Structure 1
Amino acid sequence: MGAAVSAALARLGLPAQPRPAWLGVAALSLAAGALGAVAWRRAGPRRRRRLQQVGTVAWLSIYPIKSCKGVRVSAAECTALGLRCGHLRDRFWLLIKEDGHMVTARQEPRLELVSITSENDCLTLSAPGMDQLVLPHKQPSTHKLHDCRLFGLDIKGRDCGDEVAQWFTSFLKTEAYRLVQFETSMKGRASKKIFPFVQNYQVAYPDCSPLLIISDASLADLNTRLKKKVTMEHFRPNIVVTGCGAFEEDSWDELLIGDVEMKKVLACPRCIMTTVDPDTGVIDRKEPLETLKSYRLCDPSERHIYKSSPLFGIYYSVEKIGSLRVGDPVYQMVE
């Protein structure tokens, strides 16, 4: 399995070799009893479990175009492919080169300056020095279907037209790009091809899974170690949880939020994209990544999975679709 995992990490642009010295992540435990628990039974003949509240949803964010700014929402539908609010779908749009290879803020950090709003069946794109551009949320079936490559895996994308392609090309001023859209009739990337040891699910254009969860306490802990503070936007989570201790999310396996059930896939291994300042679009290539490496490397028993990448946030798959909103309690489902 080690070779397969190394290949998966390489596809994600993460280091394939371990650092000379590894720091273990301290095991974290949840405070018992303070929030109480209630009985819970999933549909069908499944084991009985308890719900233990571990926090509250502080905010929800959808990132319609991969690597562009997120859109905060007060409530969302959680589909098998991630969060949805109206026509906003999480990472359903992607910038590609003319040969189909993805373009992200790793290559074009100024993508993080592109903001998106949704109104009247359209997305409106804004960026510094650019006129706003209105993009229909659905593209005609006559538009070209591209063969795209994300981290070495194939996936389709519907071309969004020449106007938006020229808009991104003019803003970034590097080379010609196309914007493509994922359609629900398309086949997503299989999780087993991303990481061979995880459960079965599909993803559109996210890196690894439909959901990323981080606690605000974890960010606060990181900022106590940094000279220049960072924001949650450096890490691009879908769900931010408040009311728990720093890195308690490391120990959460199966969660219930609203009527959505989700299951932990793996911790999120971090790369240089965390060093892009979301306010300036400038990539630092050092912080907060270097500080995270000083205390957030994996346990030695998990080196074959994470190598030298520091961990911050947890990826989840969607086990039961439903809806959730800001203020919802976050329950861990326990035996």
Structure 2
Amino acid sequence: MLSIASLHLYPVKSLRSLEPEVMDLEAWGARGDRRWVVVDADGIFLTQRKDPIMATVRVLQYPNGIVLQHATRPDLRVPFPDGGPIADVAVWKDMISARDAGDEASLWLSAIIGKSCRLTYMDAPASARPGHHAGHDFQVSFADGFPLLVCTTASLQDLNTRLKVPVPMERFRPNIVIAGAAPWEEDSWVTLRIGDVELRNVKPCSRCVMTTIDQATGTILHKGEPLRSLGAFRRQEGGIMFGQNALVVRGGRIKLGDPVQLSKN
């Protein structure tokens, strides 16, 4: 039987993750997932790809916003911007309207990342960033391109047998991790049902240098890995693949241990 092994939420794109026991899924993804993004002075999004120190910034959620935490600075509470300045934010090829979170958050993050940057918030996820892929129209947060990323414990275990030093699932930054599958079985999945929730896998996820960054320290401990080993057997048209990008067909609440039913190609 397939079941949910872990859930992962990223309130601020490319900062540290949370691992809730319960997750509410909406049309644009998990509630609270990647609704914030850090941008440079030109409004272009920042990620660990070029600024791996971002992995060391923790984020907590509270009812009116988020709390930023780092070992080198006092915690900073950042409320949801209430009618603040509108910023034009670039995430890949998309230009997205967002709310600027203010100077205090900007100075706090700039001191850690080492460059001038600002924190912005997507306050209208139902319309801010429409997406389209293979005949499917959808909305997406500040995630790279799709509402959700689904991975399996079996595929990670198989990859780790090929590595000198195993890596944790957090390197791949999934939203939903499923146990009970065979390695790479998720390549054939189409529809996933978790209680009343329905998801649709639409595209394998191409992996990048972020998989080489230790999420506890923001450093690369073993240069090129696990991407090099993954590429030896998972290189497909479009990149080196791990996990499946998914859409939310019908939203609702899911939790750890929930059984997963599916259809395959």
1:312 matched to 2:249: no
The aligned counterpart of 1:264 is 201
Give 1:28's aligned residue.
none
What are the within-5 Å matches in structure 2 for residues 1-335 of structure 1? 55-84=2-31, 89-136=32-79, 138-141=80-83, 143-173=84-114, 175-184=115-124, 187-192=127-132, 195=133, 197-283=134-220, 286-298=224-236, 303=237, 306=238, 309-333=239-263
Query: Take 1:297 and 1:119, find their aligned partners in 2: how far apart are those partners?
Result: 40
Task: Kindly provide the amino acid, as one letter, of the partner of residue 319 in structure 1.
Answer: V
Please state how far the C-alpha of 1:169 moved relative to its aligned partner. 0.4
The answer to whether the Cα contact below 8 Å between 1:191 and 1:198 also exists between their aligned partners in 2 is: no
Aligned partner of 1:93: which letter?
W
Equivalent-residue separation in structure 1 for 2:93 and 2:145 (angstroms): 13
TM-score (norm. length: structure 2) = 0.95
SS of equivalent residue, structure 1 residue 106: coil
Distance 1:324 1:237 in 2: 15
Q: CA deviation at 1:190?
A: 2.8
Residue pair 1:79, 1:321 contacting (<8 A) in 2 also: yes
Letter in 1 for 2:121: Q
The verdict on how the C-alpha distance between 1:103 and 1:225 changes in structure 2, with shifts beyond 3 A counting, is same
Cα distance change on mapping 1:107 and 1:117 into 2, 3 Å: same
Q: Single out whichever of 282-291 and 103-112 deviates more from structure 2.
A: 282-291
1:69-113 superposed Cα distances (whole Å, 9 cap, x missing partner): 1111111110001112xxxx0000000012111111111111111
Q: Deviations over 1:274-308 (max 9, x none)?
A: 1111111014651111111101112xxxx3xx1xx
Comparing 284-293 with 164-173, greater Cα deviation is found at 284-293
Cα distance in 2, alignment partners of residues 203 and 125 from structure 1: 23
CA separation in 1, counterparts of 2:245 and 2:144?
10
Distance 1:185 1:103, change over 3 A: closer
> Is residue 267–residue 313 contact of structure 1 (8 Å, CA) maintained in 2?
yes
CA contact (8 A) 1:198 1:265 kept: no
Higher alpha-carbon Rg: 1
- Unaligned runs of 5+ residues in structure 1 are 1-52
* Alpha-carbon distance between aligned partners in 1 of 2:40 and 2:173, rounded to the nearest angstrom: 23
Q: Report if the CA contact (8 A) 2:36-2:142 is conserved.
A: yes
Runs of 4+ in 1 over 6 A off after TM superposition: none
Superposition RMSD on alpha carbons, in Å? 1.6
Q: Secondary structure at the match of 2:235?
A: coil
Structure 2 contact 88–97 (Cα < 8 Å) conserved: yes
The one-character-per-residue Cα deviations of 1:113-165 (angstroms, maximum 9, x if unpaired) are 111112353321111211111111x2120x21111111121111100011111
Structure 1 CA distance for aligned equivalents of residues 94 and 210 of structure 2? 20
Tell me the distance in 2 between the aligned counterparts of 1:112 and 1:296.
25
Corresponding residue SS for 2:38? strand
Change (3 A) 1:212 1:186: closer
Decide whether aligned partners of structure 1 residues 56 and 186 sit closer, same or farther in structure 2, where only a CA change above 3 A counts.
Answer: closer
> Sequence identity of aligned pairs in percent?
35
In the comparison of the two structures, how many residue pairs are matched? Answer: 264
Contact 2:151 2:242 survives alignment (8 Å): yes
Please give the alpha-carbon distance, in whole angstroms, between the structure 1 residues aligned to 2:191 and 2:126.
28
TM-score by length of 1: 0.76
> Does the aligned pair in 1 maintain the 2:81–2:99 contact within 8 Å?
yes
Match of 2:98, SS state, is: strand
Change (3 A) 1:334 1:67: closer
How far residue 188 of structure 1 moved from its aligned partner, in angstroms, is 3.1
Structure 2's unaligned 5+ residue stretches are none
